Every structure is written in C-alpha cells, then in structure tokens.
Amino acid sequence: MNSTPQPLSPRQTIEYICPKEHITSIIFAAEVELPQEWDCKHCSLTAKLRIAFEPAVEKAPEKIARTHLDILHERRSKAELEEILKEAITDLRRRRKKAS
Ligand SMILES: [Zn+2]
C-alpha cells in the first residue's frame, strides 16, 4: 500500500544559538509553535531560539511612522525658526541704519 505523498506545507527555518555560539538550524512546518530551546547539534548544550527568520515585513518609511507629537514639534520649531529669522532681519536693518 502506497502512502499518498503529503502536500508540502510551508516551512520555516529556525535557528537556535547555544552558549558557545553554535548555530543549529531546524526546519519546522510554518504552523507549529516554536520551541524556545533546542539541543545544540554541536555540543548538546541548550540552544536558545534566535529571533525572526520569517520573511521580514518591509518597514514603513519613517515619514509614516512619525507621531502627531513629532509633527507638532516640527511645526513649532519652524515657527521658532521664522521668529529667529525675523529678529535677525530686524537686527540687520538696525545695524544698517546706524552705519548709514
Ligand atoms: Zn553548541
């Protein structure tokens, strides 16, 4: 009796790192819950789960990540800049008057 071939389920390669920094790569089915620890293949110490080998979601550009506060702060600093500029111009005009 032939066993019917199992359809390939999505896999993920997970790496574990032991205290001696050996890397043990284990392939798991994508749906399994990952063990936090694994025996190191090289020295049999307990290797810890290394994080994030799933396809990384592309990070949103920083512009979008800005918070409302950031925008407020930016606006305020722009206003401050304008203020400084105005003062500088007035100062310049005053100096010119004195010079003439
Ligand atoms: Zn090891």
Q: What does the pLDDT look like over 52-91, one tens digit per residue?
A: 545 555 555 556 667 777 877 777 788 888 898 999 999 9
Ligand 1: distance of its center to the CA of 39 in Å?
Answer: 8
Ligand 1: distance of its center to the CA of 23 in Å?
Answer: 7
For 59-95, b where at least 16 C-beta lie within 10 A, e where not — what string? eeeeeeeeeeeeeeeeeeeeeeeeeeeeeeeeeeeee
Residue 80 located in a structural domain: yes
- pLDDT > 70 fraction of the chain, expressed in percent and rounded: 77
Predicted confidence band of residue 99 (pLDDT cuts 50, 70, 90): low
Note if the pTM is more than 0.75: no
| Amino acid type, 84 | I
The total number of structural domains in the chain stands at 2
| Amino acid type, 48 | K
Do 44 and 19 sit in the same domain of this protein? yes
Ligand 1: distance of its center to the CA of 46 in Å?
Answer: 8
CA–CA distance from 70 to each of 51, 59, 81, 83 (Å)? 30, 19, 16, 20
Do 42 and 75 sit in the same domain of this protein? no
- pLDDT > 90 fraction of the chain, expressed in percent and rounded: 37
Residue 33 located in a structural domain: yes
Cα separation, 27 vs 74, in Å, equals 47
Residue 28 located in a structural domain: yes
Which range marks the domain in which residue 49 is found? 11-53
Residue 59 located in a structural domain: no
